[in-house]
Amino acid sequence: MLMPSLLLLGIAESLPPVEDRHPFSSYQPAFPGQTRAPGMKTLAPYHVSVLTEDLSQPWAVSVLPDGRLIISEKRGSMRIFSQESGLSSPIYGFLDVAYNGQGGLLDLVPAPDFQTSRQLYFSFARPVKDGSVTALGRVALSADEGSLMNAELLFEALPAVQSSGHFGSRIAFVDNDTLFLSTGDRQHDYTRKYAQDFGSGIGKILRMDRDGNPLFDNPFINDSGAMPQVYSMGHRNVQGLAIHPVSRALYAGEMGPLGGDEINLIMPGRNYGWPVITYGLEYSHAPVGEGLTQMEGMEQPLYYWDPTPAISGMDFYTGNAIPEWQNNLFIGGLAGSHVMRLRIEDGKVTGEERLLADQGQRFRDVAASADGSIYFVTDEGRLYQLRPGQ
């Protein structure tokens, strides 16, 4: 049975930080506001509804140009959801996925010209001879929307690894011909080193054209030994990418270990530190490496959490229905079982709110719609809609 719509009314802002638990580490932030920003509460009324509970391991939700939703399911299928018709049957036709652990079909986004091309881009764990890789593919949705056609492989983040974890992976289009793809460090101690190797596709954010080719102005395009698609390095497991609606800057949400989840403003050629610097600890509570949080030549996160909410997919709010949310960043939390709203002003996080913390769900991905709604999918199979109004 679906949860009835709930009317939620906010109260005044200027609240204590939403996080009041003791941090795992004794590390101190590099600058004021880098963690535990002031709390805030939405003033405008909004409704929360569960639209379906019938998804099977959803991993991504995206909005089509006509307002309908596409949703990926890890075993290798997708669904379409509309307010009029509800949830479609599973649609198949992707490339084979390595469905194991954190692997499977991952992100799914429409091409910017979807209305004419019918193309969808997807990231996935691809099975190969020596293990698996994070890969990027492309497929076309049939005219009757009952099948997928012409699936093709565009890119593989080599080397292959025997691991079922830390694939990343999100896709973000900047324009019709440019996209970003994030990857993870593949969750082994011995694979962490690849995050600091610009010849590897592991632990990176990659920039390419819509066919998977490097762009001529990528930062390492002329460096011998570099993977030419590499845009930034030193990442642990980026499961969130979002383009700011005004500045067009790229923001990334990165899972830390025990503490140390990060939001980063991604700049070309920059090194974001993992595993050399981090605000997190090993799961044994031991320091990571030498226990450093800062090093010359490595970027500081815009914001970090300790303890860890295990941040995942994220999106900026672009609607006009709730003005106080304009250009705010909404982020799904897995271990935290809530959605985070961050207000970012002049390059700093100035407020944080927790939403849907009473639902007991692992929020995997977020998609904001032009009509002012925000959609969330959860590991437990729910699709939520948060919409403005009385």
Structure tokens at 48: 């929360």
What is the distance between the alpha carbons of residues 237 and 229, in angstroms, rounded to a whole number? 18
Active site residue 47: no
Around Cβ 213, how many Cβ atoms within 10 Å? Answer: 12
Dihedral (CA of 207, 187, 102, 286) sign: negative
* CB half-sphere exposure, 17, CA atoms < 13 A: 13
The dihedrals phi and psi of 63, each to the nearest 5 degrees, come to -100, 130
What is the distance between the alpha carbons of residues 344 and 245, in angstroms, rounded to a whole number? 12
137 CB-near residues (< 8 Å, 6+ apart): 94, 95, 121, 122, 123, 124, 151, 152, 153, 154
25: cis peptide before it, omega within 30°? no
* CB half-sphere exposure, 16, CA atoms < 13 A: 3
What is the distance between the alpha carbons of residues 158 and 142, in angstroms, rounded to a whole number? 31
Task: Spot the catalytic one: 166, 188, 285, 338.
Answer: 166
Dihedral (CA of 287, 292, 298, 299) sign: positive
DSSP 105-124: EEEEEE-TTHHHH-EEEEEE
The dihedrals phi and psi of 144, each to the nearest 5 degrees, come to -85, 0
**Among all residues, which ones are annotated catalytic?**
166
